[in-house]
Amino acid sequence: MDSAAFASTHLLSSPFEMQDQRLNQYNSSNDSSFLQSQTNVPKQFLWPKVELVNSNQELLEPLVDIEVFFRGDELAIQQVARVIRDACLNHGCFQVINHGVDSSLITAAYDHLNRFFQLPISQKLRARTTGDGLNTLCYSGAHADRFASRLPWKETLTFGFEENPKESSVIDSFKSSLGDDFEEMGKIYQKYCEEMKSLALMVMEILAISLGVDRLHYKKFFQDGRSIMRCNYYPPCPEPGLTFGTGPHCDSTSLTILHQDEVGGLEIFANNKWQIVRPRHDALVINIGDTFTALSNGEYKSCLHRAVVNSERARRSLVFFLCPREDKVVRPPDDLVHGEATRAYPDFTWSDFHLFTQKYYRADAHTLHNFTKWLLSSKSSHHNFTN
């Protein structure tokens, strides 16, 4: 089957066509973005009523205190692993406290988030790229550079991170895209990403323990990976019941570490209903992504989540996506596989999966399933062609 058969019908043919149209509509001296100036929800932001189900119940799950990991308390670590395992088997989401990330760094990251999104649109658009967003800054207004309908009510700033980069660092990316005045912003996000990567590798060790495999297996797998950082800004919405800040989806990446501000808005699908994740300044939300679902041989669930907006206050979040190196083969450890007949997903590389979500498919609750179909059909077509 042609890969186009799985393509989203909402991809734009011209990557920046809609943003270019907006830029012509904006007054570059005005700090207000397109979203912040709306009095009604434009039709391209409307979502189907069947998906706009309200959530009134809070997710009541135990907070995971990972200070025990720093202390090396093995009995307590085993207990933490059991709590995390229960969450991952059920819905793929848990919150950690005493995680070692300084609260002042989180505050500084939000301060610089505010600074960026308050810039005039002409300056924000200096941070856009025609590449994959991993080598430089990538600003997006409502992802209109990729989709034409069911747009999310948000603005994003995305950039890549890797330890000991061969190319540019986060600091270099900010300076080259926005100018020397943004060097301090780059330094803060460089430090923030370093802390997130360290925490993510620690969580990977706990996940390995929870799955009963070599505790260093996943940590080693992700050690040399190139991850993704995203700053989200959700302006107040005049009609919040008609749209989403982020529509329902599972992350295609491996592990998501999210901090949401006091406004809240994150919801996850657990026990067959949408539930509210109450914001806590001292906690980080961790979601299992599709790639780790494959690495656990389907044992752990990828977290289905969404973000709602409100009419009163802007919402902000900081999101770090842990990814493996692009050419790493995503394959579960042998301890989770007993013969090829028990494999939940075929081998694939992160670069192939990332390409699928960027070019052919809009992430939803079924991304991994449809990627598997696309991958197997692509291999079958290639085999038939070469034979």
The catalytic residues are 315
C-alpha of 209 from chain center: 24
Beta strands in the chain (DSSP E): 57-58, 64-65, 93-97, 138-141, 155-161, 227-234, 246-250, 255-260, 266-270, 273-276, 284-288, 304-307, 315-322, 329-330, 348-349
CB 238 within 8 A of CB 224: no
SS3 state of residue 383:
helix
Query: How many residues comprise the chain?
Result: 387
**Closest Cα to residue 7, out of 382, 371, 326, 275?**
371
**Closest Cα to residue 263, out of 249, 276, 247, 251?**
276
SS3 state of residue 344:
coil
Q: Which helix (H) or strand (E) holds 208?
A: helix 183-211
Biggest CA–CA distance in the chain, Å, is 63
What sign does the CA torsion over 14, 144, 350, 110 have? positive
Pairwise CA distance, residues 288 & 290, whole Å? 7
Pairwise CA distance, residues 286 & 280, whole Å? 13
The amino acid present at 376, given as its one-letter code, is L
Which tokens go with 42?
Answer: 């434009």
Which tokens go with 167?
Answer: 């190319």
